[in-house]
Amino acid sequence: MIFIEKWTRDIEINAPIEQVWKFLDGSLENMQKIMPQVVEHKPVKITEEVVGSVYRQKYREGKRTEEYDIETLEYLNATNEKKLKVGFTLAKMFEITAFYELNKINDNKTSFTYTVTSRPIKW
């Protein structure tokens, strides 16, 4: 039996959907505003359709820095709905996916759902 951990958080954000999206699908500087431990995010392979693109990311936890490749598994950038799902292997021990969903409530309010799954590679 494989134990998969999954958790989801929902929140309404008082900001336009495009403004929230920039923190997920924008520059390293924007990404660091919500994930300050990410110290590097460089493209390794970019695909035209975005899905399949790979980024090398460095993540600092205390004095230790982990490096891993993040693959884009799902991508949607529509006017009223945006989705980004990425996957990576952490410390050769866990397969992690992070799924971000944004939905426009109105011009100044966005629904944000964040779902993470963690699956151990070996016991």
Per residue in 42-83, pLDDT (tens digit) is: 999 999 999 999 999 998 988 999 899 999 999 999 999 999
Collapsing DSSP to helix, strand or coil, 33 comes out as helix
- Residue 26's pLDDT band (boundaries 50, 70, 90)? confident
Predicted local distance difference test score (pLDDT) of residue 98: 95
Q: How far apart, in whole angstroms, are the C-alpha atoms of residue 102 and residue 120?
A: 28
Mean per-residue pLDDT of the chain: 92
Answer whether residue 101 shows pLDDT above 80: yes
Q: What is the pTM of this model?
A: 0.89
